[in-house]
């Protein structure tokens, strides 16, 4: 254990004066001071601050549930590109403010994997904003009515990763469509985004009030986007299909 380790720990804890004056204090105390106990103590403080910061980020991200890559059964729908998803989970797309689109059939794990990547991002220290498009629309209208749409925009724009779930499920009023366009237009240089949708891309324009805003918004969603297609059977039906098979087998006996 040396003074440099302790100095770096003090800096991590933003105890800048203590870091700057450490050598002077050690010199004053002359005797060979053991630094290991203080370093252990500081490490505990650093760990607990990291843990608290992570909890705050997870809470603020508003994840509807905490999922992980480890609990995902890749063999269930083998057409889902595991390597690609693991590459995305490597987080380079966040550093590059890129868009990842998770598109495909219901129940195939788009939300599960988007949330798992969001949790990993929060672990890495990134601020995450997670919402379904339907709730985002409601939040926008509520904020507008209270005259604090700016606060909502600031909150979203200050997150490095946006997760927008269930794109295309509900149609948008002009008011909402214009705000969502504005938000997506302002994203480019500040945030990455994962957007999930089970709706066919050809049908996306139908959720907008007119083709002009539809084209402009869809154009921004596909800007340098990385597309992962989710093909397969709904995991929601997994147990039910087995139950059905068991039932029919029993009936045939």
Ligand X SMILES: Nc1ncnc2c1ncn2[C@@H]1O[C@H](COP(=O)(O)OP(=O)(O)OP(=O)(O)O)[C@@H](O)[C@H]1O
226 strand-pairing partners? 100
State the minimum distance, in angstroms, from the CB of residue 22 to ligand X: 49
- Sketch the per residue contact string, 18 through 57, with Mg ion: x for CB under 5 A, - otherwise: ----------------------------------------
Q: Using the rule CB under 5 A, give the single segment among 55-63, 109-117, 210-218, 238-246 that binds Mg ion.
A: 109-117
How many residues bind ligand X, per CB under 6 A?
18
The per-residue b/e assignment along 39-57, b for 16 or more CB within 10 angstroms, e otherwise, is beebeeeeeeeeeeeeeeb
The pair of structure tokens assigned to 121 is 């991002």
Please, what is the angle between helix 3-12 and helix 36-61, to 10°? 20
Q: Smallest distance, Å, CB 196 to ligand X? A: 6
Biggest distance spanned by C-alpha atoms of the chain: 89
Query: Using an 8 Å Cβ cutoff, are 23 and 3 in contact?
Result: yes
Q: Which does 9 bind (CB under 5 to 8 A by kind): Mg ion, ligand X, none?
A: none
Question: Residue 170 to residues 11, 44, 132, 176, 189: CA-CA distances in angstroms?
Answer: 49, 48, 11, 11, 28
Q: What is the DSSP letter of 201?
A: G
Q: How far apart are CA 235 and CA 219, in angstroms?
A: 31
Q: Which does 106 bind (CB under 5 to 8 A by kind): Mg ion, ligand X, none?
A: ligand X
User: From the CB of 73, what's the least distance to ligand X, in Å?
Assistant: 4
For ligand X, the binding residues in 190-219 under the rule CB under 6 A are 196, 198
Element of type H or E holding 187 = helix 174-187
At closest approach, how far in Å is the CB of 148 from ligand X?
A: 30
Asked if residues 9 and 38 have their Cβ atoms less than 8 Å apart, the reply is: no
CA distance 214 to 181: 9
User: Residue 108's binding partner, choosing from ligand X, Mg ion, none, with beta-carbon cut-off 5 to 8 A by kind?
Assistant: ligand X
SS3 233: coil
Containing 129, the helix (H) or strand (E) segment is strand 128-132
Out of 111, 132, 217, 228, the residue judged to bind Mg ion by CB under 5 A? 111
Residues 67-126 that bind ligand X (CB under 6 A): 67, 72-73, 76-77, 106-112
The binding track of 153-172 with respect to ligand X, each residue x by CB under 6 A or -, is -------------x------
**Interacting residues with ligand X between 1 and 60 (CB under 6 A):** none
Does position 228 interact with ligand X (CB under 6 A)? The reply is no
The site for ligand X (CB under 6 A) is made up of 67, 72-73, 76-77, 106-112, 166, 196, 198, 230, 235-236
The site for Mg ion (CB under 5 A) is made up of 111
């Amino acid at each position: 254990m040396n003074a440099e380790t302790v100095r770096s720990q003090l800096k991590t804890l933003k105890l800048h004066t203590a870091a700057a004056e450490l050598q002077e204090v050690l010199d004053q105390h002359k005797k060979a001071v053991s630094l290991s106990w203080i370093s252990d103590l500081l490490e505990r403080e650093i760990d607990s601050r990291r843990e608290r910061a992570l909890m705050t980020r997870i809470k603020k991200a508003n994840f509807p549930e905490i999922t992980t890559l480890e609990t995902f059964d890749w063999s269930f729908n083998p057409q889902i590109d595991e390597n690609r998803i693991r590459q995305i989970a490597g987080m380079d797309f966040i550093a590059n403010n890129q868009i990842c689109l998770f598109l495909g059939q219901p129940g195939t794990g788009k939300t599960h994997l988007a949330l798992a990547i969001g949790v990993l991002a929060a672990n890495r220290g990134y601020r995450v904003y997670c919402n379904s498009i339907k709730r985002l629309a409601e939040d926008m209208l509520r904020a507008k009515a209270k005259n604090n749409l700016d606060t909502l925009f600031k909150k979203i724009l200050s997150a490095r990763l946006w997760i927008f779930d269930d794109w295309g499920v509900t149609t948008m009023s002009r008011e909402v469509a214009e705000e969502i366009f504005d938000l997506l237009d302002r994203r480019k240089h500040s945030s990455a985004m994962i957007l999930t949708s089970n709706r066919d891309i050809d049908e996306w324009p139908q959720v907008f009030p007119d083709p002009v805003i539809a084209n402009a918004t869809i154009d921004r969603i596909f800007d340098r986007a990385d597309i992962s297609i989710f093909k397969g059977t709904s995991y929601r039906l997994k147990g039910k299909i087995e139950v059905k098979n068991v039932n029919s087998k029993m009936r045939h006996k």
